[in-house]
Structure 1
């Protein structure tokens, strides 16, 4: 893979992992027993976007590193993976 493919893969997986990481560690105002007047009790307690973005970046870098190791260092390709679907042609 060239560097453009890695950048595109990083960008796509960063957004996917962001939406997977965002709910973790989120507490509602009701759970914290500190409901701000004029808000619903199920509203988030406070912003945690910076923490979510840091975790997203870290996990995406690990994923891209593993992808680089498998594809460029170990030279594995699609044809190297075992056939999962049985061959019904015969």
Structure 2
């Protein structure tokens, strides 16, 4: 796996995990009983984005390292995946 491919795969994993982590621990203005006039009641009171970025980075690194280890060990390869059609022989 090249560094570019690894970075691209990590980037995709990171964004996917970020969208899963974003709702963790969110309290809306409505739930907290606070809110300014003109703001959406569903807006978060304290989004804690820096904490969520750190958690996302750690989870993504673990998932990437696990996937890389599985690939490097040879447990999964492109040859082991089923093909939707017969390969073309040139």
> What TM-score, normalized by structure 1, do the two folds share?
0.76
> For residues 78 and 83 of structure 2, what CA distance do their matches in structure 1 show?
12
Aligned residue pairs, count: 84
Cα deviation, residue 35, structure 1 = 2.0
Once residues 77 and 40 of structure 1 are traced to their aligned partners in structure 2, the CA distance between those partners, rounded to angstroms, is 48
C-alpha RMSD of matched pairs (Å): 2.1
SS of structure 2 residue aligned to 1:17: helix
1:47 to 2:47 alignment: yes
Give the Cα–Cα distance (whole angstroms) in 1 for the partners of residues 64 and 77 of structure 2: 15
**TM-score (structure 2 length as normaliser):** 0.76
